[in-house]
Every structure is written in C-alpha cells, then in structure tokens.
Amino acid sequence: MNLSESLLTALDSLRSNKLRAALTMLGVIIGVAAVIALLSIGNGVTASINDEINAIGTNLIVITTNADNSDGYPTLTLADVVALSDPSRVPAVADVAASVGAGFAVTAGGNSTRTSVEGVTDNYFRVNNLEEVAGGGLLTENDVDTRARVAVIGDGVAEDLFPDSYPVGQSIKINGASYEVVGVLAPSGSAFSDTDSSVFVPISTAQARLVTNRTRQGEKPVSAILAQAANADVNEAALEQIAEVLREEHGIAYAAEDDFQLLSQADLLDTAGQITGTLTAFLGAIAGISLLVGGIGIMNIMLVSVTERTREIGIRKAVGALRRDILTQFLLESVVLSLIGGIAGIILGWIIATIAGRAIDLAAPLDVGTVVLATGFATAVGLVFGIYPAWRAAGLRPIEALRYE
C-alpha cells in the first residue's frame, strides 16, 4: 500500500466515526487555539511596549545620580550638560537636555491638582519627541535665560485646572508664585513618560524657585541629563564618551567610583524584550499543556480503534499487507486527526486573539512563525501519541487477529 492509499484509508476511517473524531480533535483544537491566541497577544504586548519606549525619543541615553557613590547628594549639574554638549569631546552625541523636578500642588482659580513640576532646558521637548502641542507653544531659550515664570502643561493637567476654558494665556500657581501658561502638550498616553500629568517650567526658574537641594560642592543640581546619540550605530561609542567626560568633570579615576549611572534606550528595549519574551514563553508553555492533554486523547482513541479493527488488521496482513503498511496507516490517521484539529485551532485562536486585541485596544498580529510553530506542535502531537497505537497494530499476528471477536 502506498502513501496516498494509506492517507485515503485514514480519511475514510475518520469519516466513519465523525463524532468520535471531532471529540478527539477538540483537545488539539483548544490547545492550538490557546497557543495561537496567547502568543499573538504576547507579540502584540511586546510591540506595544517597544512603540511606547521608542515614542519617548530616539537613541536616548538617560544619565542620573548613582546613589551608591553619591553619599546622598545629587551629582549632576548644568556644567555637565555644557561639557556633554561639546562636539569635540562627545562627537557621538547629537543633543543634550536636562531636567530637575519635584511634586507640587498646582492651582488655577478654584481648581487644584498635585503633580510633577519639571524644570527643563528649552531643547527638552525636541529630545523627548514632545514637540506636538494642543495649543500655544513651547519653552524658549529666552525663557531659560531670563528665568521666566512661564509653564507648559500636559493635557491631563489642562483638563484638571481648566475644564471649561482655554488654558493658554491664563495663570497657574506653583509653590505660591504665578506662572503664565504658554502651551499645552498634545496628549501622549504614554505609560513610560507621564507627560500628560506634568507641568514644565524653565530649568533656571525651577532651580531658583522650586528646588532647594544642592550638590556636595553647593551647586544647583539637575535630576537627569538626556543625551541623544547621533544614530543607533554609535550608541555604544556615545555611552563610552559620556562616561569618560563625566569622570573627567567629576575627578573620578575608576569606573567603580562613578557617581553617575547611564541607561540607554537600547538597554531598556532589551530588558522589556526579555520580560515580555519570558512572559510569552510562559503563557505558551501553559497553553502547551492543553496540547499534551489533546495528544493523550488521540492516543486513547487510536488504541480503541486498534482494538475495534483487529480483524481488519488480520485480513490486511493475510492478503499481503506489510508491518510498515499497517504502521503507516495508523500513524497517518493519528497525524491527520491532529493536523485537522490544529488547522481548526489556528482559525479559532486567530479569532480569539482578534477579539481580545480589540477589547483591550491592542494589535495582536498572527505571524507566520506562530502559525508554523502551532502546526508543527499539532503534527508532532499526532506523531508522538500515535506511535504506540500504530506499533501495537503493526505488531498483531495475522492468525490471532483473524480469530479475534
């Protein structure tokens, strides 16, 4: 018997027991659907997190104080920003911005909210991809130079403080002093940078009026410095150059004594990728248990089939069927059963992922790799759990099989 004849025989056998075959396939269908849905949603979450991280800027390197080597003092200043802005010392860096901030109660008329007030350099918005405004404009270099009492507010702050009026041109109070609202940022909805609920003022104004702490040398500090690498290819070079310049500025001889720490956007993406990858793999493994249960169901029903068709096996062997013919036939029945269930599971999983993605406003793409993986798993389940029943069928002796009632 050739392969095509064995396949036709396998399909005839499954058609003769439609309900039993459908119930047997149910375990595989549920298992494959779970794998497809969970992996698709996991891929969607990964893509969403990467988009969120990339949305806060491109090739960013965040520099903050290293608490372990700072003795409780902030260590970064605007002098460091000036040093890192020198292209002759840090050629791999395209732009450098800084911020310093704290939480304050912000009021306007009878409305009040407690939020983060950030003192920033005028290029902060450009470096962080925050140049889109819902109204007004952004802070300027002149605002920073003159310590102007002006503010740019996030969309959420605007809704809290000015629910019934246009914010631009109106005043807000921060720490008892009035600031004119010169701009409202467009809503970002970012989970990594809560700009919607922040207020931005010139960094010089914040250092003079809002932030009272000092470095060990008595200088006015900055909370963070944001350096933008010229491109992704020079990101590592930028990290090395930044560290070298800051060690020179701070008089540090060894890396172990660094009173600053660097976090690149690439590091953040890698960390997020590892977390979401582990989570996706874990969810996929849980879904794989359903496939295992489905495989056990296939083995069980194939053993029943071998028992029911003992005389048929005996007759086939008596008329010349070889051991490999019987083995191939029953293996094909098992694989076809699993493969049909797998295809149905892929369709069901795609439907579940699509519905779930729309419910949580998340793209849940069904990529080729996931489909191939699920199909491979389904085929493997059919092969692995069909081997023993097929081997048992092929091992029956013709005389004993013909005598079987």
H-helix or E-strand containing 104? strand 93-108
Nearest Cα residue to 69 out of 223, 258, 215: 258
pTM of the model: 0.66
H-helix or E-strand containing 185? strand 177-185
What does the alpha-carbon distance between residue 352 and residue 38 come to, in Å, rounded to a whole number? Answer: 9
What does the alpha-carbon distance between residue 348 and residue 343 come to, in Å, rounded to a whole number? Answer: 9
What does the alpha-carbon distance between residue 221 and residue 213 come to, in Å, rounded to a whole number? Answer: 7
The angle at the Cα of 31, spanning 25 to 32, to the nearest 5 degrees, equals 90
320: left (phi over 0), alpha (psi -120 to 50) or beta: left
Name the least confident of 13-17, 140-144, 261-265, 375-379.
Answer: 13-17
Please give the average per-residue pLDDT across 235-263, as a whole number.
Answer: 92
pLDDT tens per residue across span 8-27: 766 776 777 777 778 878 88
| pLDDT at residue number 396 | 65
Mean residue pLDDT across the chain: 83
What does the alpha-carbon distance between residue 304 and residue 285 come to, in Å, rounded to a whole number? Answer: 29
**pLDDT beyond 80 at 377:** no
Give the rounded percent of residues in the chain with a pLDDT score beyond 70.
87
Name the least confident of 70-74, 198-202, 399-403.
Answer: 399-403
Tokens found for residue 275: 């977390």
| pLDDT at residue number 121 | 96
What does the alpha-carbon distance between residue 280 and residue 128 come to, in Å, rounded to a whole number? Answer: 30
pLDDT tens per residue across span 103-129: 999 999 889 999 999 999 999 999 888
Domain ranges of the chain: 3-52+270-403, 67-258
228: which strand partners? Answer: 60, 95
Find out whether 222 and 203 touch, Cβ atoms under 8 Å. Answer: yes
